[in-house]
Structure 1
């Protein structure tokens, strides 16, 4: 990346990084993780892991990026000797970003298809709700349509990033994020106004402590990495674009607060409506592609609300995808010394190839749907490998690097540059040097043990 690359404004950095962190993690993945893990129980553990692990690691990545003025590969080369094990974190970060994009593109493509369907009135008030399960199975297994949609999603992201940081990524996300919040408030208000919505709110926010176990902790920590964007190289790159006057701690807290608020708003859109229409058993991707269309078919004005919802998913998905792609492209561009657009084209080509296993195994009737790895399809295996293995290992290495080699004093000094308030204090020392590495390490070991 050029040494002159920099954010156009503080609000541009916050909105772009929040868009990257929010993404489909808050609106597509968070609700089905809530459904899988008992509602309020998962919410409680997720909030704790985000505060105790996500916040320090997110700040650490941005700090290291600003300190080195490089992406994660050259940044860690600058900070570590040759053959240092900490350098593995940089390659895992790029691999994680590519891995997420490879299956993320499939979801983006399916969302584009559903958005077009919503425009045509497929989910309008009075439509046959029984059709949505078979419709999802058909569309997710319709290879020609999905290939075109995935190609379109990758082409859109590539076109935006060709414009550069300020004119492309930053300008796009500065517009998308306020739109995202606006649509969420509208949909949440409508959902909360439904009869019986209070039961869904109660299920969503009231923790059932009997549901909290190792698997819930694993899922919560994995979702923290996915939702906050830890260990995928992007936060490191975004930090390298910051000036010395930037208040990293304050901005990081604002970004994570926005991310958490969007996730909670998404829950308030989905779960009150689910309980209002007695659709409490849905889980997985069905929440977005089967349950929500059924809800819209039951609502007066469902046509308009279905358009808003799937446009909301498009906004969040592309905001996150653009951030992931920028992190990978910028990191590899400076390592290879290639021109940016050439690197972008190469990365998109590789992602398109890597997306094929996820694409061919996603739907119930997809060509590779019968191929199983562990307890799930190739798509599930790819997602699990990235979020439960690559990202946690990378996060563990980064946390150990900050705690043992970079040092707390250097971390505190760099993080507090430009800060007039909201600073790293000495009370963070135990959290940074002991609590975070131990928490990530223990959860990672438990996850490996549980998968054996």
Structure 2
């Protein structure tokens, strides 16, 4: 019998899986993607893509993981013996390692901001936030030390295992994240002129409706749900057979949408109320948000709370990425978890060093006209994730018999048939369209 660790409760699994999905994608990337793509139209398309396409693939990943009860590579090998489907696990391993290598760099930036926010040196002194951000990311010692600190924080949680590490951390972090975001939303929405930000999010300007906006919204839905990197397959492998995966997937997708919208409702009302532009792009969090909070009562404290929230969200995603790598590294040898966690986290840190230095001493090095950081991001989000999600959808839709998938889903005939149609036809075509658009036309 396997002594494989398991989540002790359904809520523990849901919060951990939601934490994996709700990371920089929801809090950092979603607001600037919405801000630069028309706000409301992008948000409507994002919600529809999450529900109609992202959710069915998420169910497929839960199905594969829960049925296999093993790490992704072993799970595919046992469910599809003598077939090459196990390559999905290898794609997930490489993708998670690479994503975490640059994800930890951004996590380090957040820690740098938190240290400054603790001393209230980010607000009230006329700081040039654009210069500050440039100074931080170009300082080789600061970025490397901060990256290492973030990796250590992630490592300490993962090495403790599912029950004592990941589940416990998620049970604390996710409710606190929701609570603090609601408090920040209340403060933001009560500013004079805040309703313009709300209108930007919820009153459609249909002139922004285009094929490009749809592609970007669909890509954001996949990215924010952690689809295609075997993270959800790995988490679901620790899920009891008694739990209903459809309900769990719906809860995870709903929480992801809720946090994304809350992030927008924290940022856009304040941006409009204080006369800033929502189209600032990736610098919105690190440049615009400090500038916004500087003009608010108790701005220093609120800014500290915001970056702590961002750290929570980033850590919960990082532990999912590291857990995929560790689960494959140890297979069923749970006694080796701590040793493997330290070794693999160290390797990922080393792999991430060029990304950390790509805005400073390695800034002159480019790969296909991209910085090292941007190139690693591109390889994972534009190539590995779509391929992983495409193959996962095909596996669940075609390789599984209807008998197996019906038994795993435990859903009504209408829900099951809708799911099967999407994972067989709609999802693969959508992912192929994203892949072709990003690789050949972006």
User: What TM-score do the two structures reach when normalised by structure 1?
Assistant: 0.93
Aligned to 2:424: 433
CA RMSD across the alignment: 2.0
* 1:4 lines up with 2:12 in the alignment: no
Aligned-partner Cα distance in 1 for 2:42–2:342: 39
Aligned to 1:103: 102
Aligned to 1:25: 25
1:250-329, aligned counterparts within 5 Å? Answer: 250-280=247-277, 282-329=279-326
| Structure 1 residues 221-255: Cα deviation after superposition (integer angstroms, max 9, x where no partner) | 22222210111122111111111210110111011
Aligned-partner Cα distance in 2 for 1:83–1:65: 17
Q: Decide which moves more: 217-226 or 182-191.
A: 217-226
Deviation at 1:265, TM superposition (A): 0.2
* 1:206/1:371 CA distance change after superposition, 3 Å: farther
Aligned to 1:389: 383
Give the secondary-structure state (helix, strand or coil) at the position aligned to 1:331: helix
User: What TM-score do the two structures reach when normalised by structure 2?
Assistant: 0.95
Aligned to 1:404: 398
* 1:69/1:159 CA distance change after superposition, 3 Å: same
Deviation at 1:266, TM superposition (A): 0.3
Aligned to 1:449: 440
Preserved contact between residue 188 and residue 269 of structure 1 (Cα < 8 Å) = yes
Residue of structure 1 aligned with 2:234, choices 237, 242, 252: 237
Aligned to 2:40: 40
Preserved contact between residue 233 and residue 328 of structure 1 (Cα < 8 Å) = no
Preserved contact between residue 73 and residue 87 of structure 1 (Cα < 8 Å) = yes
Unaligned runs of 5+ in 2: none
Aligned-partner Cα distance in 2 for 1:423–1:21: 27
Aligned-partner Cα distance in 2 for 1:357–1:213: 36
* 1:353 lines up with 2:347 in the alignment: no
* 1:447/1:213 CA distance change after superposition, 3 Å: farther
Deviation at 1:442, TM superposition (A): 2.4
Aligned-partner Cα distance in 1 for 2:414–2:69: 21
**How many residue pairs end up in the alignment?**
442
* 1:206 lines up with 2:197 in the alignment: no
Give the secondary-structure state (helix, strand or coil) at the position aligned to 1:75: helix
Preserved contact between residue 16 and residue 170 of structure 2 (Cα < 8 Å) = yes
1:42-81, aligned counterparts within 5 Å? Answer: 42-81=42-81
Preserved contact between residue 66 and residue 241 of structure 1 (Cα < 8 Å) = yes
Preserved contact between residue 25 and residue 226 of structure 1 (Cα < 8 Å) = yes
* 1:174/1:336 CA distance change after superposition, 3 Å: closer
Deviation at 1:372, TM superposition (A): 2.9
1:79-158, aligned counterparts within 5 Å? Answer: 79-84=79-84, 86-124=85-123, 126-129=124-127, 131-158=128-155
Aligned-partner Cα distance in 1 for 2:354–2:370: 13
Deviation at 1:439, TM superposition (A): 1.6
Aligned-partner Cα distance in 1 for 2:372–2:346: 20
